[in-house]
Amino acid sequence: MQSEIDRAIDAISEVLFGKEKQIRQALTCLLSQGHLLIEDLPGMGKTTLAHALARVLGLDYQRVQFTSDMLPADILGVSVFDAASGSFRYHQGPVFTQLLLADEINRTTPKTQSALLEAMEERQVSVDGDCLPLPQPFFVIATQNPVHQYGTYPLPESQLDRFLMRISLGYPEHDAERALLRGGDGRQRIADLPVCLHPDILVEISRACDQVQVSESLLDYLQRLLRYSRENKNFAYGISPRGALALLRCAKTWAYMHGRSYVVPEDLQALLGPVFGHRLKASEEFADSSGLALVQRLLGEVDVLG
Amino acid sequence: MKPEFQLSRPALIWQMVAVLLVVLPLVWELPVWLLLVTLMTTGWRYMVYLGRWSFPHWSIRTILVAGLGLPLMLKIGQGISLDSMVSLLVLGFSLKMLEIYKRRDALLVMMVAYLVAASTLLFDQSMTATFYVLFCILIITTALGAVFQSSDSGLSGPFRHSAMILLQALPLMVVLFLLMPRLPPLWTVPLSSTSTKTGLSEKMSPGDISRLTRNADIAFRAEFVDRKPEQSELYWRVMTYGSYDKGTWSEPDGAHPLLPRHVSVTDIDLARSLGDELAYSVVMEPSFQQYLPALDIPLAFSAEIRQSTDFTLRASEPLRERYRYQLRSATQYRTYPRSAESLLRYLRLPPGNPKSRALAQQLVAENADAESYIAALLTRFNNSFIYSLTPPLLGQNDIDDFLFESQTGFCGHYSGALVFMLRAANIPARVVAGYQGGEWSPDGSYMLVRQYDAHAWVEAWLPERGWVRYDPTAAVAPERVQMPAQDMYQDQPDFLADLPLAGLHQADWLAQLRWQLDAIDFRWQRWVLNYQNRQQGLLERLLGKVDSIRLVFALMIPFALMLLVIYWQQRRQENPVVRPVWQRQLDKLLSSLIPLGWSRHEGETLRQFCERVAEGQPQWRNELVMLADCHERLQYSCEQDLRLESAMIEQLKRCRDQLGRR
């Protein structure tokens, strides 16, 4: 099964040059049954990555471009009066899919955001008093612009927490960009990408990831990280137990992806940024440092060996 | 210019309190404008904190340093003295408050504050001063700690913390006090360029002593070993005046050579004890002079004191701090002249005062010998003269005026007039200045002599007896020498006129309190400041024999014990469980790499570290990678296999060998 994962990564690398680390992280997120948030400036390849992921996972997907005048019904669906039957009939919204690409989620109002985020958490939608389950599996890949841009409604912390990971792509490396500029832009070929991970393989992988071992020493390190984030003055608040569980789940997948049957500290370190970056906030005295700067502190100052 | 870092509010408050506290006691010693500078810079600092002002531009700071520092530098140029050096320190310290841009600056100010606080003790070593400085140290330590603490801990947090630190330091302080050898200073500066201490001076004109009676400062304290003398025996000789000119008594330089060390006047047959002797010790307050008071003829005294041929004592240098000395005096004695010529200068008189000379001739004619002549003079004083601290002013012929016109005066007048009359009758005579009497402490353990006990009396040379003491004041007012001066002077309007609350000074309960405080201070003086005299004995009892090696050990053992306690506490906190063998060996391996320039960062896993080392030392790569593999499997794979541990130990050994071959 590892070979399928590697093939998927290779396939996506063909349309998104030089971003193997981010592709692995994104794939880890989805293989860990989590929702993914991609944050970056416009034009950095957020949507390309989202599309490519949907493609290689072989899921049916819907894309919603969020705008400021959107209403919850535009995502969840709407009941329309059917003159023929004399009753209201429910039209499913785009959320009823296996993989939802929510583009520029912070462009829309908090009301619409929370409708989606509720669906992500509960994996069901309440319409007219009925609970309608969403298809299985259900993933959301949301993209957003950096919050300091105009016309954005930043997601509150509690809703950021619904995303298992937040990654950003950054500018391409020199060589990768050169390849891109030479006309090798693979975005056109997304539609031709092979389906590498069928849904039934996904289930198997997920089961295998659960089998990955976690030793006491590793838990010691994880707890040292947690204690540091809770006790250090630079942190406004520490990592919650849910955040810790999220990291552990991702680390297991990451270890599995690298062909190991146990988790090592390097696994935790590789995922600390994507998993903790959006769950941390600097205290007021050190307000100028971002979540990722705090992650750097955790990486640099918490002793691995203990 | 904006500061790069902002002190927390509590830190700033503690800093300002500390700065003001350490400068405050120096107000009495240093120019007043320095305090104003400190107040100004502290205020400025506060305005900067509030954000209303900013720190002054460097040009303003330069002007301040130049403008304020220059006068001090000029003063130092005229001659280095302690107060000008401390002034310079305080000036720099105060101005530094205007440039606290970094945490380092805040720390520096507090470090210097320790030095400024300590400099207070250069001027005053009394118990109050010592405790004040200890209090300052507590506050400075608080301010220092507050720099590192967040504002959450409030004002009291750093204070409690620093109190805890100082309490922990207390045992060490006691050990250091008891054992640390008192070394002489490497270099010194004179204490004061212009000392304005009251006390006896090297010249006496009538009025000098009455000026002293306005002053209740302590001159010295005395403790008697066995016999306590009577009040009327207590003539504390300080200096003698042999020359008289224009109404002023003085002693020319070199009139009385100092004897060599360890030689007293009895050794060169200038004096002989006739039996009755007193053993006592004196604690002298700083007088900025070398004169030391002693009763009658001192026979034996501490080695660093030298005696002069007029029997008075000199310290080796002016007394800048309290000085304690022990001595023995003969109260009954017979003295001999150095030479017949040496007595001639005690007969010299300037022209003038014809009426007095005539009276002398008349009395010489009436009396057969010197002693009856003196007795007649004293009777004359007793009959019609009045003792007063506020006599009328005297004219050109001062002795004539005093003897025939005013007939009112105090010891200075009487002794001066008596010496004049003796010389006019061809009897060698001189004025002796010093203190008379003193006040016993309520428990009778020691005697307190204040400046208002200053007195002057007369010594006359009688061929058969040598120098004989006559006190004309006793003839006029016998109570002056029989009761403490305070009781004697009570009715005099000028007595203690310089004290702001002179009336209170004589209140009973206050006198009680004063005595209590003085007794505590006296004991402090004896037990703490003069401790080095007893230190030798204590060290001998503790160590058997005092040599430098034993002393070093005695000082090191308490420190080592304390460090050991701290070490164990730290270990216990860090390692609640015993670390396995391989882990300890790994620690050792890692620390042996540190001197080679490879140290693992906290957040670096062993594998990352091994990779990094292998980059620089490719020949170790294989072993290091295997080490990382072993470690990973042992620590993280969850395999319950004992062989993993022994493999790890094996691999560690191989790594050590490899490093050893380097």
Contact between B637 and A265 using a beta-carbon 8 Å cutoff = no
User: Could you tell me which chain A residue has the CA closest to the CA of B607?
Assistant: A266
User: Is residue B638 among the annotated active site residues?
Assistant: no
Residues B630-655 pLDDT 10s? 998 888 888 877 788 888 888 998 88
Among residues A202, A220, A242, the one where a domain terminates is A202
Which residue has 């353990």 as its token pair? B445
Domain stops at, among A183, A202, A221:
A202
SS3 B58: helix
Pick B603 or B496 by higher pLDDT. B603
CATH number of the CATH domain containing A270: 1.10.8.80
Are the beta carbons of B603 and A305 separated by less than 8 Å?
Answer: no
Shortest Cα–Cα distance, B583 to chain A (Å): 9
Residue in A with minimal Cα distance to B8: A285
- What would the pLDDT profile of A181-193 be if each residue is shown by its tens digit? 887 656 677 878 8
pLDDT at residue A234, as a whole number: 84
Instruction: Report CB contact under 8 Å: B632, A214.
Output: no
Task: Give Rg (Cα) of chain B.
Answer: 37
In A, minimum Cα distance to B601 occurs at: A300
pLDDT 10s digits, A122-166: 888 887 778 888 888 888 999 888 766 677 788 888 888 889 999
Which three-class secondary structure state does DSSP give residue B156? helix
Rounded distance, CA A297 to CA A302, Å?
8
A36: distance to nearest CA of chain B, Å? Answer: 27
**A217, A299, A300: residue with CB nearest B635:** A217
Active site residue B455: yes
Q: Which residue on chain B is closest to A264 by alpha carbon?
A: B636
Residues of A in contact with B586 (CB under 8 A): 305
Asked whether residue A14 is assigned to any structural domain, the reply reads: yes
Percent of chain B with pLDDT strictly greater than 90: 7
Alpha-carbon Rg for chain A in angstroms: 20
Q: Which one-letter amino acid corresponds to residue A44?
A: M
Catalytic residue among B401, B471, B610, B630: B471
* Whole-number pLDDT of residue B68: 86
Residues of B in contact with A266 (CB under 8 A): 605, 607-608
- Contact between chains at A269 and B604 (C-beta distance less than 8 A): no
Q: What is the pLDDT of residue A115?
A: 86
CA angle B583, B585, B590 (to 5 degrees): 95
Extract the tokens encoding B8.
């927390």
Q: Which of B136, B411, B610, B630 is catalytic?
A: B411
Whether A230 contacts A241, CB under 8 Å? no
Judged by CB atoms closer than 8 Å, whether chains meet at B602 and A302 is answered as: yes
Number of domains in chain A: 2
Burial label for B553, CB within 10 Å (0-12, 13-18, 19+), is exposed
Nearest to B602 among A215, A265, A303 (CB): A303
DSSP notation for A17-83: TT-HHHHHHHHHHHHTT-EEEEE--TTSSHHHHHHHHHHHTT--EEEEE--TT--THHHHEEEEEET
CA–chain centroid gap for A152, Å, is 19
Grouping H, G, I as helix, E, B as strand and the rest as coil, residue B271 is strand
pLDDT digits (tens, 9 = 90+) for A171-219: 888 988 888 888 765 667 787 888 888 878 888 888 899 899 999 889 9
Question: Tokens representing A265?
Answer: 């500290």
| Contacts (Cβ under 8 Å, ≥6 apart) of B411 | B209, B455, B456, B457, B472, B473, B480
Contact state of B602 with A304 under an 8 Å Cβ cutoff: yes
pLDDT tier, B493 (very low <50, low <70, confident <90, very high otherwise): low
End-to-end alpha carbon distance in chain B: 54
Residues of chain B contacting A, Cβ within 8 Å: 150, 586, 600-608, 632, 635-638
B638/A269 CB distance under 8 A: no
| Whether residue A135 sits in one domain with residue A29 | yes
Tally of CB atoms within 10 A around B397:
17
- The pLDDT assigned to B499 comes to 52
Question: Which pair of tokens denotes residue B305?
Answer: 């004191």
Among the listed residues B455, B630, B631, B655, the single catalytic one is B455
What is the helix, strand, coil percentage profile of chain B, to 5? Answer: 55, 15, 30
Provide the H-helix boundaries in chain A. Answer: 2-15, 20-31, 46-56, 73-76, 110-122, 157-160, 174-179, 199-210, 216-231, 241-257, 265-276, 291-301
Indicate whether A235 and A198 sit together in one domain: no
The CA distance from A26 to the nearest CA of chain B, in Å, is 24
SS3 B184: coil
- pLDDT recorded at residue A268: 92
pLDDT for B553 beyond 70: yes
Please say if the pLDDT value at position B574 is more than 70. Answer: no
Q: Give the minimum alpha-carbon distance from A294 to chain B in angstroms, rounded to a whole number.
A: 13
DSSP B333-397: EEE--S-TGGGGGGT---S--HHHHHHHHHHHHH-SSHHHHHHHHHHHHHHH-EE-SSPPP--SS
Per-residue pLDDT, averaged over A224-242, amounts to: 89
Q: Would you call B636 and A269 a contact, using CB atoms and an 8 Å cutoff?
A: no
Q: State the average pLDDT over residues A101-112.
A: 88
- Which tokens go with B154? 């409030």
Token digits of residue A245: 């569980």
My answer on whether A128 and A274 are in the same domain is no
Rounded Cα distance between B23 and B189, Å, is 20
Domain identity same for A287 and A140 = no
Other CB atoms within a 10 A radius of the CB of residue A34 amount to 21
At B399-433, the pLDDT tens digits run 888 888 878 777 888 888 888 888 888 888 888 88
pLDDT the model gives residue B1: 46
Kindly state the average pLDDT of the residues A95-105: 89
List the single best residue of A220, A221, A225, A264 to mutate versus B (max B Cβ within 10 A): A264
Model confidence at B397: pLDDT above 80: no
pLDDT at residue B253, rounded to an integer: 72
Same domain for A191 and A240?
no
CB contact under 8 A, B636 and A217: yes
Q: With an 8 Å Cβ cutoff, are B632 and A264 in contact?
A: yes
B384 contacts: CB under 8 Å, gap ≥ 6: B407
CA proximity to B299, closest of B323, B270, B256: B270
Between positions 187 and 226 of A, the ones with CB within 8 A of B are 213-215, 217-218
Q: Which helix (H) or strand (E) holds B488?
A: helix B485-489
Q: What is the pLDDT of residue A184?
A: 61
pLDDT of B2 above 60:
no
Q: Are B207 and B386 in contact (CB under 8 A)?
A: no
Residue B131, CA distances (Å) to B24, B121, B126 in order: 14, 10, 9
* Peptide bond between residue B428 and the one before it cis (omega within 30 degrees of 0): no
Q: Is B413 a catalytic residue?
A: no
pLDDT at B492 exceeding the cut of 70: no
Residue from the list A214, A265, A285 with its beta carbon closest to the beta carbon of B605: A265
Does residue A253 or residue A145 have the better pLDDT?
A253
Pull the structure tokens for residue B656: 């050590």
Residue B442: predicted pLDDT? 76
Q: Are B253 and B356 in contact (CB under 8 A)?
A: no
Which is more confident, A60 or B196?
A: A60
A181, A202, A223 — which closes off a domain? Answer: A202
A306 belongs to a structural domain: no
Residue-level pLDDT at B73: 85
Asked if residue B126 has pLDDT above 90, the reply is no
The CA distance from B263 to B272, in Å, is 14
Q: What is the mean pLDDT of residues A166-170?
A: 89
Tell whether A298 lies on the interface with B, counting CB pairs under 8 A: yes
Q: Model confidence over B300-331: pLDDT tens digits?
A: 887 788 888 888 888 888 877 778 888 888 88
Quick: pLDDT tens for B55-114. Answer: 888 888 889 888 888 888 888 877 777 788 888 899 999 998 888 888 888 899 999 999
Regarding whether A164 and A254 lie in a shared domain, the answer is no
CB A27 within 8 A of CB A8: yes
Domain locations in chain B as residue ranges: 9-179, 204-492+500-511, 535-574, 581-660
DSSP A282: B
Q: Determine, for residues B637 and A262 on separate chains, whether the beta-carbon distance falls below 8 Å.
A: yes
Choice among B12-21, B121-130, B245-254, B270-279 with the minimum mean pLDDT? B245-254
Q: Is residue B445 over pLDDT 90?
A: no
Tell whether A149 and A15 lie within a shared domain. Answer: yes
Same domain (yes/no): A62, A111: yes
Residue among A264, A300, A302 whose CB faces B636 most closely: A264
Task: Note the pLDDT of residue A274.
Answer: 92
Q: Which residue of B has its CA nearest to A297?
A: B603
Predicted local distance difference test score (pLDDT) of residue A221: 92
Answer yes or no: is A7 within a domain.
Answer: yes
- Whether chain B has a CB inside 8 Å of the CB on A233: the answer is yes
Cα torsion A91, A97, A101, A102: sign: positive
Q: Which residues in chain B are closer than 8 Å to A298, comparing Cβ atoms? A: 603
What are the C-alpha distances in Å from A79 to residues A115, B398, B489?
Answer: 16, 130, 115
How many CB atoms sit inside 10 A of residue B269's CB?
Answer: 10
Interface check for A234 against chain B (CB to CB < 8 A): the answer is no
Helix H or strand E encompassing B409:
strand B408-409
CB A148 within 8 A of CB A19: no
Residue with the larger pLDDT of the pair A294 and B498: A294
Q: Which residue of B has its CA nearest to A268?
A: B605
- Clarify whether residues A182 and A261 are in a common domain: no
Rounded to whole angstroms, the Cα distance separating A294 from A301 reads 10
Cα(A149)–Cα(A137) distance, integer angstroms: 33
pLDDT at B193: 43
Q: Which residue of A has its CA nearest to B152?
A: A233
Whether the predicted pLDDT of A278 surpasses 80: yes
Residue B196 pLDDT: 47
Contacts of A218 in chain B (CB under 8 A): 635-636
Burial letters B494-507, b for 16+ CB under 10 A, else e: ebbeeeeeeeeeee
Angle at CA of residue A24, ends A21 and A30, nearest 5°? 145
B587 to chain A, closest Cα gap in Å:
10
Letter for the amino acid at B16?
Answer: M
pLDDT of B390 strictly over 80: no
| Dmax (CA) of chain B | 130
What 3-state class would DSSP assign to B191? coil
Instruction: Note whether residue A135 is domain-resident.
Output: yes
Over chain B, what is the mean pLDDT?
81
**DSSP-derived 3-state class of residue B274:** coil
Q: Is the predicted pLDDT of residue A223 greater than 80, yes or no?
A: yes
Its domain, for residue A130, covers 2-202
DSSP E strands, B140-229: 203-204, 218-224
- Compute the distance between CA of residue B22 and CA of residue B117 in angstroms, rounded to an integer: 5
Average pLDDT, chain A: 86
CATH number at residue A106: 3.40.50.300
User: Inter-chain contact A261–B637, Cβ cutoff 8 Å?
Assistant: yes
Pull the structure tokens for residue A277.
């970056």
Residues of A in contact with B150 (CB under 8 A): 233, 285
Taking alpha carbons only, the member of B522, B370, B367 closest to residue B447 is: B522
Whether residues A133 and A260 share a domain: the answer is no
Question: B149: nearest CA in chain A?
Answer: A233
